[in-house]
Amino acid sequence: MSTFEELDRATIAETIHTVQAAVPVTFTWDYERSRDGLSRLYEKAKTSQWNASTDLDWTIDVDPERVTSQLGGSPRERFADLVDHPDSPVRHFGDKEWTRLGIELQNSLLSQFMHGEQGALLTTARIVETVPWIDAKYYAATQVMDEARHVEVFARYLHEKLGRQYSINDNLRQLLDDILADSRWDVTYLGMQIMVEGLALAAFGFMHHITDEPLLKRLLRYVMSDEARHVAFGVLSLQEYYAGLSATELRERQEFAFDAAVRLQQRFRQAEVWERMGADPKAVLSFLAEHEPPGAQEFQVLLFSKIVPNCKKLGLLDAGDGWLRHKFAEVNILQFEDWADTSSEYELLDEVARDRESAAG
């Protein structure tokens, strides 16, 4: 074997990750379209497809430093205590390092979105195989296409406009592994459609609101249009199924949801960025835990603004003794319980439909 072949195999091995799972594949011979909500969602999905190559203007020049300054302010402002505090583990950073840190934080965030979208791609393909209803299989098949497009646009933006990407964060990878390894079809739904996609929808909305970079803004808005349908798909499907589960089964789902929430929150610590910057991630994160940057807690809490009302709609918040309600209160996210659930608002986020109406009229 040549040295080239050895290197090529080693490179491929580094990029391949396999999850072992024994999952039953479910056929249904009942082709009656009996679930109106899912049928409407499927029809909406068929008319809301967009093309990443033609519906986004990839000729737009992107300045990574400018994008960074818009998303949460400059790193010097976001991490003021790290700049000046005598005990700061990165007090030696100069202008060059702080500028680079902002770019790295942005690249890391978008990289995790890209990896999460591939997780959604694989998970939704699993749902097509395992869900027992034909209406759900039809819709899930459209979501597989959506997720492929999302992976495509984030990968292209990172490669062509930012020039760098990060490997998947350990917390996100472990959560995706657990979702894909579970043989229960509804847990696949819960983990991806409600938890991962719900947090992504909130994060995309936050980024879309504060950025003025035109390509990223349009990209995020189109992805949000799809994501809202995806989360609504989870709510519509699981609401019916969870109504028939026992108290023990519901408690298992509550515990899974809370564990997923904790791991999703930890994903935003971005330890990998500090490591790439040559700093000790443990020392930096320990320091930040004691000197939390202004606005950081608000951002992390807002990420759950879609998850909590959807869990309430599914009956998980108050099932049994209200275990999940108490746990969400402990981490200060219960205030979102009466916000609109995604099954009620997904059409309001359909940017693709609005663009086509505008072009036609």
Least confident of 47-51, 69-73, 246-250, 251-255: 69-73
- pLDDT tens-place string over residues 286-296: 998 888 765 66
- pLDDT tens-place string over residues 7-18: 456 555 678 999
For tokens 């009229």, what's the residue?
361
CB 302 within 8 A of CB 206: yes
Label residues 22-48 b or e (16+ Cβ within 10 Å = b).
Answer: eeeeeeeeeeeeebebbeebbebbeeb
Label residues 330-360 b or e (16+ Cβ within 10 Å = b).
Answer: eeebbebbeeebbbeebeebbbbeebeeeee
Helix (H, G, I), strand (E, B) or coil at 59: coil
Helix residue ranges, H only, 48-158: 64-70, 75-78, 80-84, 95-130, 134-156
The whole-angstrom separation of Cα 114 and Cα 43 is: 26
φ, ψ at 272 (rounded to 5°): -65, -25
What is the pLDDT averaged over residues 343-348? 74
Residue 86: exposure state from Cβ atoms within 10 A (0-12, 13-18, ≥19):
exposed
- pLDDT tens-place string over residues 122-181: 999 999 999 999 999 999 999 999 999 999 999 999 999 998 899 999 889 999 999 999
User: Which domains, ranges and CATH numbers included, belong to the chain?
Assistant: 36-360 (1.10.620.20)
Pick the closest to residue 45 from 177, 230, 311, 184 (CA basis).
Answer: 230
- pLDDT tens-place string over residues 320-329: 999 999 999 9
| Residue 79: other Cβ atoms inside 10 A | 25
Can you say whether residue 326 is alpha, beta or left, with left for phi > 0 and alpha for psi between -120 and 50 degrees? Answer: alpha
- Please state whether the predicted TM-score (pTM) of the whole model is above 0.85: yes
The whole-angstrom separation of Cα 171 and Cα 206 is: 21
The whole-angstrom separation of Cα 73 and Cα 162 is: 18
For tokens 């909406």, what's the residue?
44
pLDDT of residue 300: 74
